[in-house]
Structure 1
């Protein structure tokens, strides 16, 4: 077999650093990956694997390809990642994407280019013409295009291991249950459903079918936010006493489904306020025992005939931490949070909830000095991280880090927030003193 330099010359005609990067970038297609690394973690490159208990269509993590390249940086410099592990595309978990809207087109389909264990194999849409165009772009055969009427036929397609539900909230329950009955594992967008009753039905259906259910809380898999979680729990600046969270934006077309109660279940709270709720819980590892809230909407604004605009609420945690939260659909975009700690310091992210461009900020007093910090962790494709996590769960027969129970808990908290706003009084929830009660902490993402 040719060595790397010979392969580079045959690829580009010259051995330049630029062409080296271009060449190595093609390794995601399985091209000479074993040559770059000097081997695999197990077995021969590109070998087919045997069946696994995870129900991943006979796919497993047995033949992971490792790609290593030397670092160009001195040890005194911030090191970039120069090693990766991946599966040959034939062995990856195949996803059927249900719903081809803004999130799918802008985030999910591009994210598959960064995936190491997942791939798109099918599309489900009510728009056949659009589905054919998207399928052609991503190498999905036309036979793997379904609509909402013939969706149940996915049970006969061995290419499909998992289904990713990216539909209006009111449709989550139906399609999660149909997916489970079709024998497929399910990754479902958040909010999980329009009610805790629907969420429980989804959990029950997947358990009855023996299929895994994961809720797509991308923040919990993202490395910057995971560092903030670590700082909170390890009391990096002391005990966090107060968390301020803001997730607001100016929503457009008043006829879109997000502004229809029957489809969305609510307005800004379940759509973007949910990030504040879930991130508060993720950072602390705790569950709130009480919430208080107020809601205000402009009755003259056609966008808010059915759903709420502005929500401000507080969450009270057993440790004494209080989280102040604000969400709205009628103001300029801002997505950030800050944790105020006991020992003269604060930290957080601005932006914190975006798909990209996340930034950590921190400050701490040192004598007469106020030390401001901008911590650089580096970005990863958030949707690729969560899809790969679920793929690994399927192949290794493990429960996901954010299972259905995590989504159900958020539904219960949102219902309490709505009740607190209606009644004008704080609403108590079950007092839970355990940490990560609804997450599978044993299968947390690797740092």
Structure 2
């Protein structure tokens, strides 16, 4: 039976587009706060759903360059409980109606937006008007016009906008990018990505994902964006053409407005091909493999919150990557804190999020036209390569 969702209830489901895989056990316990560096940046977390409670708030106890400064919630009871747990005064609690008053709070430098996709643009613009920098969950928004409005608002306010592409700051994926740049696999031929999960309408966190108006694309926007983004950063080039196909059982109550399984192909200027799929009716999967003329590289899993792995296949006596896991959300928030402080470049700005949305919309257009080829407008060029800019040290 489909569950009714109130506005406040939807807001409180502010969970990021990934499976709720717990952080690795080897990581420091969330209750042990790390010593903060001088000038640590204060974060206001907007939306206290699964991702915020399970990953973001605990990570802010471990970050060196960032700390929790405020909570924004539609549930006063939840906000008070979490404020007490994380040592915040009640004056650091804001509702969605009082959100704009963060402009008067000097303790907040960054707003981290963890809301359903359809709410990203409005809260990003409001945060910029309040004079704050913005870290926004992916996908960036629902429409291209919303993405462009967010970028323009950041420029007008002279504030930074970063999209929370945590895998661009995560050791397995950064290591994979470094291996690709070294040419270990030979000439890149194919990147294949499979992203999906089993959704359930009795789970409130799935309800807005299965609503086209709120999600902007169901599994493609929620899970497929990982495969699309990974293909782009592994190959370090942009697609010029895409095709897409869908398979959806419209008798399934989960898929009244969104497609279930979407598969796609992307053609790149070098001749490399990207292929992938995203699905909301399969076991939890977030994997990719890159195939070159000499070897292939497999990350399975490759995009979970913890427990990712990487191996090289096809060479003789190849050393295998030895990657030390870290808190992905903490590393991402530390990085953006340094962007705000002028110590690091913005590796995943709004333009990066807009490019993925262009591709997602092109795939949707192709699906609507029976798999017809759709050209991708050129012009986007990544300002910084995460492989060299983020520079996580590895033994390979």
CA distance in 1, matches of 2:159, 2:321: 39
TM-superposed CA distance for 1:27, in Å, is 8.4
TM-superposed CA distance for 1:263, in Å, is 1.1
CA distance in 2, matches of 1:238, 1:114: 39
1:82-138 Cα deviation digits (max 9, x unpaired): xxxx605xx310000000001001110111122110000100000010011111111
CA distance in 1, matches of 2:229, 2:33: 36
Q: How does 1:219-234 map to 2 (within 5 A)?
A: 219-234=167-182
TM-superposed CA distance for 1:438, in Å, is 3.0
CA distance in 1, matches of 2:194, 2:319: 21
SS for the counterpart of 1:352 is coil
Alignment partner for residue 296 of structure 1, among 227, 243, 247? 247
Give ranges in structure 2 of 5+ residues lacking alignment. 1-27
Tell me which residue corresponds to 1:353.
303
Alpha-carbon spacing, 1:373–1:305, altered in 2? closer, same or farther (3 Å): farther
Alignment partner for residue 200 of structure 2, among 252, 256, 264? 252
Tell me which residue corresponds to 1:375.
321
Q: How does 1:428-443 map to 2 (within 5 A)?
A: 428-431=375-378, 437-441=381-385
Q: Does 1:176 align with 2:124?
A: yes
Alignment partner for residue 204 of structure 1, among 142, 148, 152? 152
Task: Compute the TM-score of the two structures, normalised by the length of structure 1.
Answer: 0.77
Q: Does 1:445 align with 2:396?
A: no
Q: How does 1:31-70 map to 2 (within 5 A)?
A: none
Alignment partner for residue 321 of structure 1, among 255, 263, 272? 272
Q: How many residue pairs get matched?
A: 358
Tell me which residue corresponds to 1:414.
360
TM-superposed CA distance for 1:376, in Å, is 2.4
Paired residues of 1:294 and 1:420 also in contact (CA < 8 A):
yes
Structure exhibiting the larger radius of gyration computed from Cα positions? 1
Alignment partner for residue 186 of structure 2, among 238, 241, 250? 238
CA distance in 2, matches of 1:111, 1:365: 38
Alignment partner for residue 269 of structure 1, among 220, 231, 250? 220
Give ranges in structure 1 of 5+ residues lacking alignment. 1-21, 30-85
Paired residues of 1:292 and 1:417 also in contact (CA < 8 A):
yes
CA RMSD of aligned residues (A): 1.9
Of structures 1 and 2, the one scoring higher in RCO (CA 8 A, sep 6+) is 2
TM-superposed CA distance for 1:399, in Å, is 4.3
Task: Compute the TM-score of the two structures, normalised by the length of structure 2.
Answer: 0.87
1:303-338 Cα deviation digits (max 9, x unpaired): 100111100000111111101101100011111111
